[in-house]
Homo-oligomer: A and B are copies of this chain.
Amino acid sequence: MTSDAEPRKAVGRGEKVRAAVHAATLAELVDKGYAALTVDNVAQRAGVHKTTVYRRWADRESLVVDALADHVAADIPVPDTGAVDTDLRELARSLVHTMTSPTGQAVLAAMLSDAARLPEIADARKRIFGDRLRRAEPVIARAVERGELPTDTDPGELLKTLAAPIYFRLLISAEPVDDSTAEHAAALALAAARGGVVRKG
């Protein structure tokens, strides 16, 4: 019985270690940024030995990529309010709330830090933001089905149009990002879709 039970226990412990190390990685990113992040500090914060970290992650880069992917996979709820304007507004609000949280800002900063020179981080960023957009595409498909948007609306392009002004404020103009930013982004995306500017192909 012990020989059956042990691997299961080991998997359970492995998951706990994984979650603790991910949380510690994000916390270190929040506090110190990517450049100052070390496996030693992550291990200490997670309460595990650094060899435990190195057993699971080859290096600092794969640790960060894995923690970021895990964080972004779980973050944005996909609304279904029955109307495209309220769906887009909710989606924009969720994005604003996620991206303005300390962890969201640290994740974004890490993706754009000198770490972005590493192909693994650049790939992860592309993949992660792609996934986030793809998960929200049903919102647009439902709006097209309800006849609220032109049938040739490109869901991915529309969602990028929604996200772009939020990221612009966060990263470039450094203006406040709040619910009114979300309202504006939703109105802009809707005007673009209705104006036929986000068509497929």
User: What is the interface of chain A, defined by CB distance below 8 A to chain B?
Assistant: 33-36, 109, 112-114, 116-117, 122, 125-126, 129-130, 133, 160-161, 163-165, 167-168, 171-174, 184, 187-188, 191-192, 194-198
Could you tell me if A112 and B192 are in contact, using CB atoms closer than 8 angstroms?
no
Residues of B contacting A112 with CB < 8 Å?
Answer: 109, 112-113, 171
Copies in the complex: 2
Among candidates B116, B164, B174, residue contacting A167 with C-beta atoms closer than 8 Å: B164
Partner of A125, one of B113, B172, B198: B172
Query: In terms of DSSP, what is the predominant structure of the interface of chain A?
Result: helix
> Within the assembled complex, what's the spacing in Å between the Cα atoms of A109 and B112?
7
Which residues from chain B contact A116 at a C-beta distance below 8 Å? 109
Interface contact B172-A167, CB-CB below 8 Å: yes
C-alpha spacing A194/B129, complex, angstroms? 30
Q: Could you say which residues of chain B place their CB within 8 Å of the CB of A164?
A: 164-165, 167-168
Question: Are A173 and B195 closer than 8 Å at their CB atoms?
Answer: no
Across the interface, which residues of B come within 8 angstroms of A130, CB to CB?
A: 173
A3 to chain B, nearest CB (A): 48
List B contacts of A126 (CB < 8 A).
173-174
Q: Tell me if A173 and B160 are in contact (CB < 8 A).
A: yes
Known: A112-B112, A113-B114, A195-B195. A160 touches B165 (CB 8 A): yes
User: Within the assembled complex, what's the spacing in Å between the Cα atoms of A4 and B119?
Assistant: 56
